[in-house]
């Protein structure tokens, strides 16, 4: 008999302390910063009450990085940034440097290796995104590919600060919306109820849990071909896909009928108005891998109109507040259809209970 294998017990160390990873100037001036400005797009210049200054150079990455890419970024950090980097929530990388004269050579080095410098201030920054076909178990589309295709189109706006205010984008490969709230979001919108493989349901799915998961109570237990399964009231089903994660035999993804929708006007910050959720403004774009040209063109069009029409410091939501929804649809050329009128709980708060109408 083999001796029992001694398993290593995990060290439950939790969230590590970040102090040892901080750039020396960041550690020295922790909690003592006075102000910042941006000498050029992609560069933040922070000044401490102590008089110390630090320049942060921000560059875009592909987020899913191979070790060779990461080592290249490390080489650059070792050469210019005292071996320290940080990442932003949108997967940009930042190099902190202690002397202004290092900024230009650092930018040149990053660009030489194909990392665009930008994403600061009033730019279109990197797209927050999810896993998609690369790794998700329930994706309606890819994520990294959509983002790559779109960022190729928007890279000039990433490198400039010419937008009225910052533009945050996100993509999500199903309606769970892991990509989060953004000024413009691309989200898969299923258009047909799930197709059920009745042979598998009994063995794979916990049926009461699936029934409970449906937001509109459209799923009920049923015997199909002598086997316990589930059935859907297709007149109630609004194709959200919530049943698919707990019950993969309820296939919601469909190469033709799972479409892409565009949402606008989400804002995380409390600046000016309170935070806002984004609103659906278009749907029906084909899931057209590998470069998704239709939805990409639609997003670029919204960005173009916003750039021309919004006033300084108006985020997408602020701009639409000023010009109103009728003008938004008119200016962007997007058709306003009945599917954009909310009918979910609380929907009456989204209707116009006034005579405030722009003509």
Binding to another protein (CB under 8 A) within 52-91 occurs at: 54, 56, 60-71, 73-74, 77-78, 83-89, 91
Q: Among the candidate windows 141-149, 301-309, 326-334, 349-357, which touches another protein by CB under 8 A?
A: 141-149
- Contact flag: residue 339 with another protein (CB under 8 A): no
Q: Which of 341, 164, 182, 336 is nearest to 264 (CA)?
A: 182
For the bound state, the minimum distance from the C-beta of residue 86 to another protein, rounded and expressed in Å, comes to 5
- Contact flag: residue 160 with another protein (CB under 8 A): no
One residue of 3, 20, 354, 357 binding another protein per CB under 8 A: 20
Name the token pair of 355. Answer: 């005579």
What is the dihedral sign for C-alpha 305, 308, 309, 314? positive
Enter the DSSP assignment of 270. -
Is residue 76 within 8 A of residue 106, CB to CB? The reply is yes
Enter the DSSP assignment of 236. T
- Contact flag: residue 268 with another protein (CB under 8 A): yes
One residue of 40, 148, 198, 327 binding another protein per CB under 8 A: 148
Separation between Cα atoms, residue 99 and residue 112, nearest integer Å: 21
For the bound state, the minimum distance from the C-beta of residue 14 to another protein, rounded and expressed in Å, comes to 4
The DSSP bridge pattern shows strands 219-224 and 258-264 to be: unpaired
For the bound state, the minimum distance from the C-beta of residue 29 to another protein, rounded and expressed in Å, comes to 8
Sheet (strand 43-48) strand order: 33-40, 43-48, 53-59, 93-97
One residue of 101, 112, 255, 308 binding another protein per CB under 8 A: 255
One residue of 167, 194, 266, 282 binding another protein per CB under 8 A: 266
- Contact flag: residue 23 with another protein (CB under 8 A): yes
Find the binding residues for another protein in span 90-109 (CB under 8 A).
91, 93, 96
Return all residues near 138 (Cβ < 8 A) that are at least 6 apart.
174, 176, 241, 244, 245, 248, 253
- Contact flag: residue 18 with another protein (CB under 8 A): yes
For the bound state, the minimum distance from the C-beta of residue 197 to another protein, rounded and expressed in Å, comes to 12
Find the binding residues for another protein in span 289-318 (CB under 8 A).
289-291, 311-313
The residue among 277 and 335 lying less far from another protein, judged by its C-beta, is 277
The residue among 319 and 332 lying less far from another protein, judged by its C-beta, is 319
Find the binding residues for another protein in span 188-207 (CB under 8 A).
none
Q: Among the candidate windows 15-23, 98-106, 194-202, 224-232, which touches another protein by CB under 8 A?
A: 15-23
The residue among 48 and 332 lying less far from another protein, judged by its C-beta, is 48
What is the dihedral sign for C-alpha 144, 254, 237, 246? negative
Is residue 228 within 8 A of residue 201, CB to CB? The reply is yes
Number of residues that bind another protein (CB under 8 A): 117
332-348 in b/e form (b: 16+ CB < 10 A) is bebeeeeebeeeeeeee
Return all residues near 169 (Cβ < 8 A) that are at least 6 apart.
124, 125, 127, 128, 150, 154, 182, 183, 184, 185, 186, 299
One residue of 227, 236, 272, 304 binding another protein per CB under 8 A: 272
Find the binding residues for another protein in span 221-250 (CB under 8 A).
240, 242, 248
């Amino acid at each position: 008999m083999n001796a029992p294998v001694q398993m290593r017990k995990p060290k439950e160390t939790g969230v590590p302390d970040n102090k040892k990873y901080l750039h020396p100037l960041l550690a020295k001036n922790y909690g003592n910063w006075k102000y910042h400005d941006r000498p050029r797009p992609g560069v933040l210049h922070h000044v401490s009450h102590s008089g110390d200054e630090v320049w942060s150079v921000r560059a875009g990455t592909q987020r899913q990085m191979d070790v060779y890419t990461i080592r290249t970024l490390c080489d650059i950090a070792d050469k210019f940034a005292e071996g320290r980097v940080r990442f932003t929530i949108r997967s940009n990388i930042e190099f902190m440097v202690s002397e202004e004269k290092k900024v230009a050579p650092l930018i040149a080095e990053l660009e030489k290796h194909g990392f665009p410098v930008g994403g600061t201030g009033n730019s279109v920054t990197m797209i927050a995104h999810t896993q998609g076909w690369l790794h998700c178990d329930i994706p309606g589309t890819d994520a990294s590919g959509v983002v790559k295709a779109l960022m190729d189109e928007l890279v000039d706006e990433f490198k400039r600060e010419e937008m009225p205010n910052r533009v945050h984008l996100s993509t999500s490969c199903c309606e769970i919306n892991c990509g989060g709230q953004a000024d413009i979001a691309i989200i898969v919108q299923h258009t047909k109820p799930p197709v059920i493989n009745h042979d598998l349901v009994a063995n794979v799915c916990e049926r009461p849990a699936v029934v409970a998961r449906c937001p509109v109570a459209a799923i009920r237990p049923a015997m199909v071909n002598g086997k316990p399964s589930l059935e859907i009231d297709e007149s109630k089903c609004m194709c959200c896909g919530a049943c698919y994660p707990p019950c993969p035999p309820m296939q919601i993804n469909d190469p033709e009928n799972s479409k892409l929708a565009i949402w606008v006007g989400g804002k995380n910050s409390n600046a000016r108005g309170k935070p806002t959720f984004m609103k659906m403004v278009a749907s029906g774009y084909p899931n057209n891998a590998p470069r998704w040209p239709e939805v990409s063109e639609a997003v670029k069009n919204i960005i173009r109109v916003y750039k021309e029409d919004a006033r300084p410091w108006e985020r997408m939501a602020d701009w639409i507040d000023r010009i109103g929804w009728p003008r938004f649809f008119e200016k962007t050329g997007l058709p306003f259809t009945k599917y954009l009128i909310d009918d979910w709980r609380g929907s009456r708060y989204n209707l116009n209970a006034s005579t405030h109408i722009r003509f």
